[in-house]
Amino acid sequence: RYSTHSRGGVSGMEEILSRVVAPLPSYETRDKSPPPPETNSLEFMYFYKSLDKEDKLCFLTKLSQDFGVDHKSVSELALKLLDTQLRDLATILLAEDRLRYTLTPRYKQLFSHISRVEGGVKFLVDLRADVLEIISSKASDSPHIRDLNGALKSLLSEWFSVGLLRLERITWQSPCEILQKISQYEAVHPVRNWTDLKRRVGPYRRCYAFTHAAMPGEPLVVLHVALTEDISDNIQSIVREFATLDSDEDVNKINSAIFYSISSTQAGLQGVELGNVLIKRVVRELQSEFPVMAQFSSLSPIPGFSAWLQGLLSQCRKEGRAFDLLSEEEWKEIQHATDSTPGTPTVDSLRKLLSSNEWMRSERLCGVLEPVLMRLCAWYLYGEKRRGYALNPVANFHLQNGATMWRLNWHADTSPRGVANSCGIMVNYRYFLNETSKNSARYLQNKVIAASDQVLGFVSQFQKASKL
């Protein structure tokens, strides 16, 4: 419908932008201005979608630079504000309000209008995904792009506030379209086929998603729950076991809710926290379905542990500090168990060993490695930080939510992926419901991690063993 925009690259962009992005009305007439015609928004969307990656960068750069804030007006109003400081409050408040209004980027208005047309909100979510990709890939270091990102995030935060989200339980009765998306979005434990999927929405399982009125049929964040007797210590029993596929749930066997996968589906909603709210809502939902349910816990992967460990070993070897990590006996046992060729430093043998998943098949090696890897992993989760918060993103997520780092589980994910990522170790972040608020506040404000005795025990073993 929007005829050929073949009016050559940059000038075409400029033409579109100057036509479509309306100037900010004057402060006085801001409530009197007619909204621009809907076709403006549609044209912008259509044009943007037709661009390739490179042109998008160029276009967004233009948009953010030339259609943002009018710096001159801002500084004038800032000056005026300072001049009013000794006057009455009404005058000050008015000056502030004018300043606030003038600090609105021109493109923010456009985004508001876009949000009103069909598919507009989804378009903006995807637009922000592009902006984030530009920033993280360092394709641009323009501060304007960063401002654009901020404006988008603040709008999306308003629209995706919880009052507008709808909790949906996904079952085998749900539309195929949604189930297919659930399957595609599952990032933690990939769905292999439709039987696998059917299992994940069948008896002894729950699958919940948030959807949004402006993006119907699109799950925004998905939480998979297993209903079990005890808190699960491995993922195989959850995603590989099909015995119960056709059975009816026996309520008496359900004491625990295990969150074994949570996936955000919209890159563009980064920083708009939905996952934590989803967990809270689901806990309430489960409590109303199972009034006596008392145990809520995640069974979480530990992405990055293996990589971190390899890095650590490599560094220790370089610095000749291998004994800081493992005791002499431990190194010896490893040497024995690996039959490493004489002359090879054991650190290298160990690194090589861990780079494949062969060792999992040897009971002896497993026996030797378990205590070592468990205490190293505990340290990785508990002790490694980034700006004071847990380095591991999954840990950081659950700790922010107020969970307790509760139990490390050996042989918990024996899939090739699980072994490669975290030597097969998984961790339960447990939600003690009457402690989560307190835990969350202490973590976010004071960076204190709530952890169980098991975890703290491993951490202290690590600290004794190493002089790190």
Residues with a catalytic annotation lie at: 300, 398
Identified binder of its own copies from the candidate list 1, 6, 8, 34, rule CB under 8 A: 34
Using alpha carbons, list the distances in angstroms from residue 20 to 34, 35, 111, 316, 380.
Answer: 14, 12, 11, 59, 51
Query: How crowded is residue 301: how many other Cβ atoms within 10 Å of its Cβ?
Result: 24
Can you say how many angstroms the Cα of residue 399 is from the centroid of all Cα atoms in its chain?
A: 13
Identified binder of its own copies from the candidate list 15, 54, 177, 229, rule CB under 8 A: 177
Is residue 148 close enough to count as binding its own copies by CB under 8 A?
no
- Residue 135 C-beta: closest distance to its own copies, Å: 14
Is residue 433 close enough to count as binding its own copies by CB under 8 A?
no
Residues 6+ apart with CB under 8 A from 446: none
Element (H, E) at 8: none
Amino acid sitting at position 398? H
String marking each residue 103-122 x if it binds its own copies according to CB under 8 A: x--------x--xxxx-xx-
- Residue 45 C-beta: closest distance to its own copies, Å: 13
Contacting range for its own copies; rule: CB under 8 A; set: 140-148, 255-263, 352-360, 453-461: 140-148
Identified binder of its own copies from the candidate list 93, 187, 267, 448, rule CB under 8 A: 93
String marking each residue 182-201 x if it binds its own copies according to CB under 8 A: ------------x---x---
Nearest CB to its own copies, comparing residues 99 and 365: 99
Is residue 79 close enough to count as binding its own copies by CB under 8 A?
yes
Identified binder of its own copies from the candidate list 18, 26, 50, 75, rule CB under 8 A: 75
Structure tokens at 255: 């004491």
How is 448-463 classified by DSSP, letter by letter? PPPB-HHHHHHHHHHH
Contacting range for its own copies; rule: CB under 8 A; set: 49-57, 209-217, 312-320, 427-435: 209-217
Please tell me the number of Cα atoms within 13 Å of 268 on its side-chain side.
19
- How many whole angstroms separate alpha carbon 142 and alpha carbon 135? 9
Residues 6+ apart with CB under 8 A from 289: none
Identified binder of its own copies from the candidate list 11, 90, 291, 341, rule CB under 8 A: 90
Amino acid sitting at position 465? A
Using alpha carbons, list the distances in angstroms from residue 233 to 3, 106, 296, 394.
Answer: 59, 53, 13, 17
Contacting range for its own copies; rule: CB under 8 A; set: 74-82, 314-322, 404-412, 422-430: 74-82
Amino acid sitting at position 54? E
332-366: b or e for each residue (b if 16 or more CB lie within 10 Å)? ebbbebbebeeeeebbebbeebbeebebbeeeebb
404-409/295-298 β-pairing: unpaired
Is residue 138 close enough to count as binding its own copies by CB under 8 A?
no
Is residue 437 close enough to count as binding its own copies by CB under 8 A?
yes
Query: Do residues 303 and 166 make contact, with C-beta atoms less than 8 angstroms apart?
Result: no
Given the structure tokens 């909603």, which residue do they identify? Answer: 269
Is residue 89 close enough to count as binding its own copies by CB under 8 A?
yes
Amino acid sitting at position 414? T
Nearest CB to its own copies, comparing residues 200 and 407: 200
Identified binder of its own copies from the candidate list 10, 74, 294, 468, rule CB under 8 A: 74
Query: Do residues 204 and 244 make contact, with C-beta atoms less than 8 angstroms apart?
Result: yes
Residues that bind its own copies (CB under 8 A): 31-34, 37, 69, 71, 74-75, 78-79, 81-82, 85, 89-90, 92-94, 96-97, 99-100, 103, 112, 115-118, 120-121, 143-144, 146-147, 150, 155, 158-159, 161-164, 166, 172-177, 179-180, 194, 198, 213-214, 217, 271, 277, 400, 437, 440-441, 444-445
